[in-house]
Amino acid sequence: MSSAAALAAILIAIALQTTLGGLVFRGSTAIDLVLIAVVLVAIKSGPVTGLLAGTVAGLLQDALSGGVLGIGGMAKTIVGFLAGVLGRQFIVTAPLPRFVVLLMATGLHAAMFMGLYTLLNLRQFPSPYTAVVGQAFANALVGVMAVTLIEWLPGLVDRHRVGRILKR
Amino acid sequence: MAIADIKLRPGVILGAAIALHVVLISAQVNTASGLPMLQVVTVGSFSEVQRGTMSLIDGVRGVWSGYVALRQVQEENTALKQELQNLQVRFQQERAAAQRTDNLRQLLELRDRVHLETVAAEVIAGPANPDFRTITIDKGTSEGLDKDMAVISPAGVVGRVVLPSGRAAQVQLLIDRNAAAGVLIERTRVQGIVMGGGDGPLTLQYVPGTADVRTGDLVVTSGIDGIYPEGFVIGTVDHAERGVGAYHQITVRPAVDFARLEEVLVVRTLPASRGGIEEPRQ
């Protein structure tokens, strides 16, 4: 994946996240599309691209969310780096490994994000475990579905095009 | 470092990114006291650097100060040693002056005690030949000194003038081998002749074997020799035993320390005109 494609994926994810911000499972679990995009880009492109994507995405997300600039950026930078390392070290092309990586990435991101805010005494997160676990499963599920869709989509289009040609 | 190399070092990039975020976060966050965290962290971090630098400088300064102080102490020590030596020399001089003053005072007292015309003289030289026990004094014929004049000191008899010159005189000490003096044992009034042996002890001869002589008896001049006035201390009996002949064999320890003579009195009264002494010195 080229840098431009990675940047485009991040920008699309942010755009979707900002427009579909109310996307919630069972009323309390918010999906982080930007995090999903970062993890998928990192798995695909490696740690350097992963951490750069995490930095850009996190800083943009922080800037747009009105929070402290850098906290989300740092969390996503580290997550992107580690996801890239996992993608380099292990075969994570199957849905289940991707699901696990997304699950772990979400947990790590939440831990760092909430931990930094709590450490700096800027925000409190009372009983976040349920929300974090829910978000992790939701992110993993959406991420696996999204990547599956993205990977299958070119083949489906080609098959549809070939079928139409054959019908004629 | 080239950009390609940086891409091969994701750890470096990660570290840089994290540092960037830390700075970014710190720039926006205030501490509990309301101060910007970036300033607090910067000041806190740099203060540690300053503390380390100051510790290093203090250490170097301390070592340097210690070195300089050590040099100063060394110089001071040298100066103090020099001063101590000077003071020791001065102390010796003062002590010598005090001793000399004491000697002169004793001489003065001796002169006042005796009814003799005396001249105070200072010893200016020792014997030229070790076989001869003589000294040289700074008074001579110009001061009225003449041959065979008695030389005394507060402790006792010193000797006699043997060779007077214009401004000095040679004195034969009582311990010289050729020196002799008529004496008596003060306790028993037994007479004899004391002779020098060239060294410390004197020998007392011609004391009859029947005479009562004891160790510690005081021996004084008898005045019969025509040189030494009567009653001056020669010394004390150190050893006395009955000899094989008719006389005792007696050794006398001189009362005068001949090695420490500095000032003496010369009795200018000639033997023929000698009138005597007020009281003998104990």
The domain defined by A3-167 folds into: Arp2/3 complex 21 kDa subunit ARPC3 (1.10.1760)
CB–CB of A68 and B37 under 8 A? no
Mutant choice from A45, A55, A89 vs B, greatest count of B C-beta within 10 A: A55
Nearest chain B Cα distance for residue A107, angstroms: 19
CB–CB of B14 and A84 under 8 A? no
The domain in which residue B97 lies consists of 31-113
Do B95 and B134 lie in one domain? The reply is no
d(CA B222, CA B216): 18
pLDDT one-digit tens code per residue, B167-212 = 889 899 999 888 999 999 989 999 999 998 877 789 999 998 888 8
Which residues make Cβ contacts (< 8 Å) with residue A163, sequence separation at least 6? none
With H, G, I as helix, E, B as strand and everything else as coil, classify residue B279. coil
Do B176 and B69 lie in one domain? The reply is no
CB–CB of B17 and A55 under 8 A? yes
Section A28-46 average pLDDT = 86
Nearest-CB residue to B29 (from A77, A84, A120): A120
- What's the pLDDT score for residue B255? 92
CB–CB of B25 and A81 under 8 A? no
Do B147 and B74 lie in one domain? The reply is no
d(CA B229, CA B267): 9
Token output for B252? 């006398």
CB–CB of B21 and A81 under 8 A? no
What is the CATH classification number for the domain harbouring B245? 2.40.10.340
Nearest chain A Cα distance for residue B41, angstroms: 13
Which residues make Cβ contacts (< 8 Å) with residue A123, sequence separation at least 6? A114, A117
Token output for B117? 């015309």
d(CA B176, CA A116): 112
| Cβ–Cβ contact B13 with A under 8 A | yes
CB–CB of B21 and A77 under 8 A? yes
Confidence of residue B231 (pLDDT cuts 50, 70, 90): confident
Nearest chain A Cα distance for residue B9, angstroms: 8
CB–CB of A47 and B28 under 8 A? no
How many domains does chain B divide into?
2
H-type alpha helices, chain A: 3-19, 33-45, 47-65, 71-89, 95-119, 129-167
Out of A46-50, B1-5, B237-241, pick the least confident: B1-5
d(CA B42, CA B137): 93
- What's the pLDDT score for residue A158? 79
Query: Is residue B6 included in any domain, yes or no?
Result: no
Do B70 and B181 lie in one domain? The reply is no
pLDDT one-digit tens code per residue, A125-161 = 777 888 889 889 999 999 999 888 888 877 777 787 8
Section B213-218 average pLDDT = 92
Task: Kindly report the number of other CB atoms within 10 A of residue B237's CB atom.
Answer: 21
d(CA B145, CA B164): 7
- What's the pLDDT score for residue B4? 53
Q: Choose between A157 and B120: higher pLDDT.
A: B120
Do B269 and B187 lie in one domain? The reply is yes
CA distances from B219 to A14, A161, B192, B255 (A): 134, 158, 10, 9
pLDDT one-digit tens code per residue, B98-107 = 877 877 777 7
> How do the domains of chain A map onto residue ranges?
3-167
Q: Choose between A41 and B72: higher pLDDT.
A: A41
Mean pLDDT over all residues of chain B?
A: 82
To which residue do tokens 């005072």 refer? B105
pLDDT one-digit tens code per residue, B26-66 = 778 777 767 666 666 666 766 777 678 778 888 888 888 88
Nearest chain B Cα distance for residue A129, angstroms: 25
Question: What's the complex ipTM?
Answer: 0.73
